[in-house]
Structures are given as C-alpha cells and as structure tokens.
Structure 1
C-alpha cells in the first residue's frame, strides 16, 4: 500500500499511572494485564494497532521506579531499553495523584531523546477539574512541539485524538505485523500473566509483588476442544503460601476460577487449569528463578 505509515511508540511513566489500561483501550483488546497495584507490568509488552493506512506498535513498559531487587533492576532496564530507537514516546502521568518530581524526570529523559513526545495526563475521569488543571499546568514549560492532553483509559476520553497525534509522527513504512495480530506474546506467557493478574486482584497488599507464575504444562487434548494447563505460583514466604492457598484451598481455587474465562477467551478453547504454590525465598533476587519466569 502506498503511503502506508508505521512505527514504534514507547509508553513510559511511573508505576500505576494507567499505561497498560491506556494501551489496551487504544488497541481495543486486552494485551497487558491490569490491576490497582503498582508494578503490575514486569516485562516490555508489545501491542499492535492496525488501521487503514497505518500501524502503531506500542511498547508498554514497567513503571519506572527505584529498584529494590534484581527483578526491579530488570523492570527499569526494560523500560529504558524500550525507549531506544522508537519513532515517538508517550509519557503517561496520573492526574489524580498529581505530577511529581519522578514524572518530571521521566518526561525530561524522554524529551532528551530527540523524538516526538506526547504527554497523556491520564485518569482524567476520576480527578477534579482543579486536579486536572494542576496536572496540565505542570508541563506549562514544555516546548510547543510537545503535545499534552487529558486522557482516560477507562472511559476512552482523548484516545481518538491521542492516536491521531501518534499517527502523525509515523514515517512511511511496512506492515510490521499481520493486520489481525495485536501482540507478540507467546500463548504461555499470556496465560501466566492472566493468572498473576487474578492473584494481584485477590491477594493482600504485601503478597502480590512476591508472586511469580511458571507454566509447567500446556497441552491440547487430541480431538478435543480442551487445553490442559498446569502452573505454579511462586511466593517468597511460607506465611504467603498459606495466604495464596487460603482456607481449604479457597483462595487458590478463586484465582483459578477467575483466570480461566480470560484464558479461554485468549486461546479460543476450553481450559482445564491446575494450580500449585511453592515457596522460593527471595526469588526476586535469584537470576535462575527470574530466567525461569521469563525475566531476562
């Protein structure tokens, strides 16, 4: 196709500003897991938006924070690496919690890369007008070419304008991915993330950051519309294991029952899901476990 435009856009921001929700909303499907807890995204995730005349390849990244372990180091490096060799950077800030020094640092580092920068002042649906104006004014010193607009990944506010802006920064290029492809994640990685998402939603505050998911077995039954999946949830303490399992296994069953419909939707098959829980003390600082879980 003549004059087809395509390119890569990195999405950067602090933890829990709504980067993944925003990307999912722009693509129109669930590519990245979401939860109210910070540091939900651990890997660089690719989401592909294809429309007549253009294709945007989004690189959703872990929230940039001060790492406390090797997993944290990996997450921050993933975000920094994603911002290299892209056609534009989308910096996301949270209008409700306000724009702080870390937001400014992320924005300034993005602006220093000499590619177009768009700032999405997100969560505009849950903030007051005063909070929104304050967040917008935090970028009053931005150069004219930096676009700043209020958005909401939940209501869709500003997303059409945002996509139009990003499309304008794309160079002429090929279809990098087929029109029906929305992510490059292998099915097993998607399944592991969906299980972890439900654990994030259901578990107590101190447990989720220490949860990792390994897919042990992933087999489609012959001549049946059924996939057998076995997975292990890693946690860091024996006390956390008891919480993850719950009384008479109730919590683990709930995690599985919540994850199963999402997994079936992604795979297009019925799923038989078995979950186990193991303790791996301080696994977020152990490279062997990080590699097993795909953080490398």
Structure 2
C-alpha cells in the first residue's frame, strides 16, 4: 500500500476504574492485549492496543482508571492515565452508563480541562433503557469539551464497529508506526505476567492482596516450539503468601493451569508455566520496584 494513502494515529482511552476501557480496547484489537476483571484498578500500566482498519492503523492507549490516589502505586497509575492524552489524536472518555451518579466522571472531565476535546463513549448500554441514555447524554452536554457522543456495549460489540470507523477516517495521514501483524507494544514477558495476574484477580477476587504483582523471571524457547516460563507472584507481606498458595498449594496450581491455557490460546504453542510466591516488603512504595514491575516509567 502506498504510504501516501495511509493514516495512523493515537487514541487515549480514559475513564474511571471498571468503566470497560480494557474490554473496549480488546474488542477493537480483536485479541486480548489488556487483562479484564470485575475488580477495580486491574489495569496498572499504559498498554497500547494496535489494529488496522482499511488504510488506517489505530493505536489505542489503554490506561489505568482515574480515581483519588493515596499510595505511590496509585499515584503513578493516575499520573499515567492523565498523561496519556498528551499527543493523542483523539481522547475517549469511557463511562459506565449504569451508574446512579456521574459526579466522578464529571470530576474526570474537570481534571482534563476545558480545552481538551473529548469523545464521550457511554458503555454497557445493553443493560439500561434508551430513555435513561438520553437523560445521561443531556447531563454530559453541559461540558463544552464533549465534541461527540457514542453509545456502545464493549462486551457485546454493539456500536463498536461504528466507533472504530469514525475514528479511522479522522486519524492524520501518516505511515504506520508498527508492523501490520503487531497487536500490542507490551513485551511478551510483561504480557505473560499480566495474563497470570488476571487469573489471580479472577480466582481470588476479594481475597487477593492489593499489593500483588507478577514478574516473569525466565523465558526459555525450545526447538519444538514450546516455551518454559517461570514467574514470581510478588506480595508485600509474609502473611499474604498463604492466600496465594492455598491449602497444600492447590490454589496456585489452579491459577497456573488457567494462565497456561490462556497463554497457549494466544501464543499458539505449548507453554510450561511454573509459579512461586516471593515476599518483597512494601514494594508499592518503592519507585525502583514499581519500575521493575513495569508500572513506573524509567
């Protein structure tokens, strides 16, 4: 394809925790590049999801949810989210349309500033009636930075292709910045760590200590196409270790099995996954450990 006909641009995907940002990015890309769970603040780092639509390469910047931070980890997450809009060609504000109050979303708009053009994306519309949707749109129209509004369901796909098409024709003319077959900028080691962390969140739910991350320590490829991966599940206190391991190690075994299946599905070859638990005191408040976890920029 002639570079002169190509378009390429960045779209920042912002919103509160659990608004459906990662689900939407995965729907755009057509594959899992960002982990998803019902637990708030699942996304901790900026992740790029890449897709091609006709002559346009769209680069979606999935971000942590915007909320009131307290600890170093939370502050770095919110800072990452707010900085994502810098240099973006379009900024999407994803809003869970089921909320009873939208004050937190209004607060996000105020943080972004009056001069930031925002595309409002009301998500989860399959779960509420149209009359309520119209009332919600009216509330957001009070903010002059809202340039356009879309109603979608990232989970069912309703409205997603229309939004993708709309974005594609509005990206600037530019050569593509990534290979056509690349779906994310996340290195495989970090991606695999995220897949395991997703299973921790899904299987432990409210039992999962917030001070938990996964580190891929070794990655070994074999001639038959299989890969051996060793990962550390890092917790902040010794008392949390037993929660991850479970009785006689059954819980971590189940987590490993589900993560391995998920990795094999996306990698397309056998995976031998080995997990162990490591204790690192108060890692969330140590910038050098946040950088090692891929959460804080170097």
Equivalents in 2 of 1:269, 1:235: separation in Å? 30
Alpha-carbon deviation of 1:207? 2.2
Closer, same or farther in 2 for the Cα pair 1:169/1:106, shift >3 Å? farther
CA deviation map 1:124-145 (0-9, x unaligned): 1223445434432321324497
Alpha-carbon deviation of 1:291? 2.1
Closer, same or farther in 2 for the Cα pair 1:135/1:110, shift >3 Å? same
SS at match of 1:31: coil
**Gaps (5+ residues) in structure 1?**
none
CA deviation map 1:213-260 (0-9, x unaligned): 011111112x22221111110122333211110011111011101100
SS at match of 1:205: helix
Alpha-carbon deviation of 1:58? 0.6
SS at match of 2:168: helix
Closer, same or farther in 2 for the Cα pair 1:166/1:213, shift >3 Å? same
After TM superposition, the structure 1 = structure 2 runs for residues 140-155 of structure 1, keeping only pairs within 5 Å, are 140-143=141-144, 146-155=147-156
Equivalents in 2 of 1:56, 1:98: separation in Å? 33
Closer, same or farther in 2 for the Cα pair 1:144/1:272, shift >3 Å? closer
SS at match of 2:276: strand
Alpha-carbon deviation of 1:106? 1.9
Equivalents in 2 of 1:64, 1:3: separation in Å? 36
SS at match of 2:180: coil
Bigger CA drift: 181-190 or 101-110? 101-110
Q: Is the counterpart of residue 283 in structure 1 residue 283 in structure 2?
A: yes
Closer, same or farther in 2 for the Cα pair 1:113/1:251, shift >3 Å? farther
Alpha-carbon deviation of 1:111? 5.8
TM-score in terms of structure 2 length: 0.92
Alpha-carbon deviation of 1:102? 2.2
| Counterpart among 12, 16, 31 of residue 10 in structure 1 | 12
SS at match of 2:61: strand
Name the counterpart of 1:249.
Answer: 249
Query: Does the aligned pair in 2 maintain the 1:245–1:251 contact within 8 Å?
Result: yes
SS at match of 1:25: helix
Query: Does the aligned pair in 2 maintain the 1:94–1:123 contact within 8 Å?
Result: yes
Bigger CA drift: 30-39 or 104-113? 104-113
Name the counterpart of 2:125.
Answer: 124
Equivalents in 1 of 2:268, 2:84: separation in Å? 30
SS at match of 1:146: strand
Equivalents in 1 of 2:25, 2:267: separation in Å? 21
CA deviation map 1:94-138 (0-9, x unaligned): 011245222112234446344x42111011122344543443232
Equivalents in 2 of 1:145, 1:277: separation in Å? 46
RMSD of aligned residue pairs (Cα, Å): 1.8
SS at match of 2:125: coil
Give the count of matched residue pairs: 294
| Counterpart among 70, 74, 78 of residue 76 in structure 2 | 74
Bigger CA drift: 152-161 or 127-136? 127-136
CA deviation map 1:253-272 (0-9, x unaligned): 11101100111233332111
**Gaps (5+ residues) in structure 2?**
none
Closer, same or farther in 2 for the Cα pair 1:194/1:207, shift >3 Å? same
Q: Is the counterpart of residue 199 in structure 1 residue 211 in structure 2?
A: no
Name the counterpart of 1:46.
Answer: 48
Equivalents in 2 of 1:17, 1:262: separation in Å? 24
Query: Does the aligned pair in 2 maintain the 1:90–1:118 contact within 8 Å?
Result: yes
Query: Does the aligned pair in 1 maintain the 2:73–2:285 contact within 8 Å?
Result: yes
